[in-house]
Structure 1
Amino acid sequence: MTSTRPAATGSVAARPDAAIRLLRPFAVLALIASAAITAIGLAWWLVPDANPYTAPGSLSLANALLEPARFAAVVVATGAVGLLLAGAALSRDALGRRAPLVAGAAALLAATVVVVLGDAGTITFAGYLFGFAAVVAGVLTTAVLLVRAPRLGVPLLVLLLALIGVAVWWAGLTWEGVASFLARFGAGLVDNAPPIAVSGVSVAAVLAWTAVAVVAGRTTREMRAVESWLVRHRRALTVLAALGPLPYALVRASWLTPWPLFAPAGGELSPAVLATGLMLGAGAAAACVLTLGLILPWGRVFPRWMPALGGRPVPPRLAVVPGLAAATIITISAVPVFMLSLGADSIVDVVVFDLVLPLWFWGPMLALAVWAYAADRRDESGTGDAVAPLG
């Protein structure tokens, strides 16, 4: 817990076999993801119409600069290089070539995120899913707190009822609007299954190459120095990461007032649109709270009011895996969303858009905050490699 505690990474360097065992599952995931990327690129090369990146609003930097056949070739090349590097990471002497392994993993990570498979649709689908889950989790949490911790549950219930009252009687939310949103949401998931699958492959690839780079790099003095710095500054990093979704949450909260910000043209908020915006805002608010959990007590020990789990230590992976997945999704979407913002009417509109939805800042900052949490929990446990790099 103290910021001066040295990083417990030396045990990995002292036990290369343990580091190899830790590296292997991530290298296997990288191999599978790279094979999938290669297959996807070949499919797009042979059947250009199957490429969802050619649809309006769904693009990557490479797709914006290249015609479809060349873009498909770049995707194939990215996957092929990934296959070669994953094979090297699976070899017994992988850590003997840690410098090129780390450099190659970092290069593939950057290529996948920034150039090749970044997609504005990734954050859209993830936002809808997470927002819906946040609403359901909020209702269930309130119900549990009313029974197990009424001092917390009653105020939370009052707040929830007040929000519902404002949404229904003031803003015009209706059950028909909620049902319409849910129907369109379900249909959208089915209709967009191919790009969602590609986004899933992209996220898996980025997580795999991140893990490969960190596990291999942790045996170096430079990476241990980076982790020590992250642990020392983890509180500041976490607070900054929690600020990422806050502007969007405040914008959506304004839809409950007479002055809705970034409302549809004409200022008319139909019940379905209102339900959509409020759900996404709930997801952004939940993201703020969950991010702060990386430095709050309940991020280490389950609260007492939680059935069956209360008082038990939080497994680091329970926070790190979804945290890194979220950071990956946000970062993958940053460049395409910025590119879309360039279509605004003025530079002021571009700046405002990228401040309200600061994926360029939020994603990398969240990744650093989660990495700092993982390193701190590893130091706390004293297990060295037992929980790295995924908590």
Structure 2
Amino acid sequence: MTSVREPATGSIAAPPAPSTRLLRALGAVALLASAAILTFGLVWWLVPESNPFATATSESPASALLGPAWFAAAVVATGAVGLVVAIATAAPAALARRAPLIAGAAALCAVAVAFVLGDTGTITLAGYLFGLAAVIAGIVTTAVLVVRAPRLGVPLLVLLAALIGMAVWSAGLTWAGVTTFLASFGAALAAQGMLILISAVSVVAVLSWTAIAIVAGRTTRGLRRFEGWLVRHRRALTVLAALGPLPYAVMRASWLTPWPLFAPARGELDPATLATGLMLGSGAVAASILTLGLILRWGRVFPSWMPRVGGRPVPARLAVVPGLAAATVITISAVPIILLTLDADSLDAMIVFNLVLPMWFWGPMLALAVWAYAAWRRTIDGVDVVAIDDAAGTGTSTAR
């Protein structure tokens, strides 16, 4: 294994011209997403009653400000402009000369999609899915550790058993509550298929436009210097990002105590609601731990206790792509959540809610932390890890 040292200054060497192949691939993804957005808008314009934002409990900033007809027109315009920019991105001629222009246009497209289609339903769906995955992954990880690394696995098993005991005997969690939650969640997924599709398209669009803006924008001195700043401060940025979900995790953890926060009094919390809250809290804890992986050793090398991959380098894209996707989901939900809390009973309630669930802080900070990790890996590996199609950028295994 080759040992590498992190550059002391965190500076980024001047990169070559942007990858035509990569920008074409990203442009193709953005093209498909823009075509889907255009289709949504046309359908909602011609058949207003098919617009899910007109009846949904959550709404995007654009749907909150515009009437149904104007909102549909805004969606059509967003998709149409996206098609034009995507075609320009994929065109072969004079790419290097127009890269800064493409970067600016892509950034504007990302903002436009977030404004038009970003809503609270996106983070709700992602939170439930990630929370459920975190619980399953936590159980599996504990079982593997008990066998392959007992010094770590046995204490973790004891902690897990203690938490389950508190949830069952102290807080009132029941198996019926768990199954009721799972049944309700499955029914909600089936009933909101269109909103889920819209959320998926909006996330893909924002993520692809953001990637285009970064890859094309790296031809400019300003963005390269900004990446150098990110690398120098990547540890601080990552710690701040890891703090984002912790207030929510603490709030959910309080449901295991006699003093539950933002919940019915002890004894009045039904088991299904308790199961939901604890699952979401588990997801928040997992998100914080995974974020710290951007600066810890296991963010570069798989832990030795992991079957098959233990000791091998972590592909940079394995952290960059999911990390930026998560940051996108959180960030595009920030403004809709703030708009939703405007209906709170008091200013104090609005402020408390946005401090317990600080999407406005967590999303952008996570995006910067992942970007810093990507730029750092590109610097020490000599590979453009912003590229989603990178297949060989992890030949080194240790880092300072």
Q: TM-score range by the shorter chain?
A: over 0.9
Q: 2:286 is matched with which residue?
A: 286
Q: 1:311 is matched with which residue?
A: 311
- The one-letter amino acid paired with 2:317 is R
Would you say 1:388 and 2:394 are equivalent positions? no
Q: 1:22 is matched with which residue?
A: 22
C-alpha distance in 2 between matches for 1:171 and 1:66: 44
Would you say 1:4 and 2:2 are equivalent positions? no
C-alpha distance in 2 between matches for 1:23 and 1:46: 34
In structure 2, relative to structure 1, the CA distance for the partners of 1:149 and 1:298 (3 Å cut) is: same
1:165-197 Cα distance to aligned partner (Å, 9 max, x none): 000000000000000000001111111110010
Q: 2:79 is matched with which residue?
A: 79
User: Per the alignment, in what secondary structure is the counterpart of residue 235 of structure 1?
Assistant: helix
1:209-268 Cα distance to aligned partner (Å, 9 max, x none): 011101111111111111111000000100010011000000000000111101148972
Q: How does 1:134-145 map to 2 (within 5 A)?
A: 134-145=134-145
Q: How does 1:100-111 map to 2 (within 5 A)?
A: 100-111=101-112
Q: 2:33 is matched with which residue?
A: 33
Residue 73 (structure 1) shift: 0.5
Residue 49 (structure 1) shift: 1.8
Q: How does 1:30-109 map to 2 (within 5 A)?
A: 30-92=30-92, 93-109=94-110
Would you say 1:329 and 2:334 are equivalent positions? no
Give yes or no for contact 1:42–1:72 (8 Å, CA) kept in 2: yes
Residue 57 (structure 1) shift: 2.7
Q: 1:210 is matched with which residue?
A: 210
User: Per the alignment, in what secondary structure is the counterpart of residue 242 of structure 1?
Assistant: helix
1:46-77 Cα distance to aligned partner (Å, 9 max, x none): 12122121224311111111111110010000
Give yes or no for contact 1:8–1:382 (8 Å, CA) kept in 2: no
C-alpha distance in 1 between matches for 2:307 and 2:97: 47
- The one-letter amino acid paired with 1:304 is S
Give yes or no for contact 1:249–1:282 (8 Å, CA) kept in 2: yes
Structure 1 stretches lacking a partner, 5+ long: none
C-alpha distance in 1 between matches for 2:382 and 2:66: 49
C-alpha distance in 2 between matches for 1:264 and 1:122: 26
- The one-letter amino acid paired with 2:7 is T
Q: How does 1:242-257 map to 2 (within 5 A)?
A: 242-257=242-257
Residue 44 (structure 1) shift: 1.0
User: Per the alignment, in what secondary structure is the counterpart of residue 309 of structure 1?
Assistant: coil
- The one-letter amino acid paired with 2:210 is T
C-alpha distance in 1 between matches for 2:204 and 2:124: 17
C-alpha distance in 1 between matches for 2:50 and 2:8: 51
Would you say 1:358 and 2:363 are equivalent positions? no
C-alpha distance in 1 between matches for 2:182 and 2:356: 25
In structure 2, relative to structure 1, the CA distance for the partners of 1:280 and 1:191 (3 Å cut) is: same
C-alpha distance in 1 between matches for 2:196 and 2:54: 15
In structure 2, relative to structure 1, the CA distance for the partners of 1:266 and 1:350 (3 Å cut) is: farther
Give yes or no for contact 2:63–2:116 (8 Å, CA) kept in 1: yes
Residue 99 (structure 1) shift: 2.5
259-268 or 210-219, larger mean C-alpha shift: 259-268
User: Per the alignment, in what secondary structure is the counterpart of residue 314 of structure 2?
Assistant: coil
In structure 2, relative to structure 1, the CA distance for the partners of 1:56 and 1:194 (3 Å cut) is: closer
In structure 2, relative to structure 1, the CA distance for the partners of 1:56 and 1:90 (3 Å cut) is: closer
User: Per the alignment, in what secondary structure is the counterpart of residue 310 of structure 2?
Assistant: coil
Q: CA RMSD in A?
A: 1.4
Residue 388 (structure 1) shift: 2.2
TM-score by length of 2: 0.93
Give yes or no for contact 2:61–2:119 (8 Å, CA) kept in 1: no
C-alpha distance in 2 between matches for 1:97 and 1:24: 14
Residue 372 (structure 1) shift: 0.4
Q: 1:347 is matched with which residue?
A: 347
Residue 118 (structure 1) shift: 1.1
Q: How does 1:203-242 map to 2 (within 5 A)?
A: 203-242=203-242
Q: Percent identity?
A: 67
C-alpha distance in 1 between matches for 2:73 and 2:267: 44
User: Per the alignment, in what secondary structure is the counterpart of residue 288 of structure 1?
Assistant: helix
C-alpha distance in 2 between matches for 1:264 and 1:123: 24
The alignment covers a number of residue pairs equal to 383
TM-score by length of 1: 0.95
322-331 or 47-56, larger mean C-alpha shift: 47-56
1:323-353 Cα distance to aligned partner (Å, 9 max, x none): 0000000011111111111111111111000
Structure 2 stretches lacking a partner, 5+ long: 1-5, 391-400
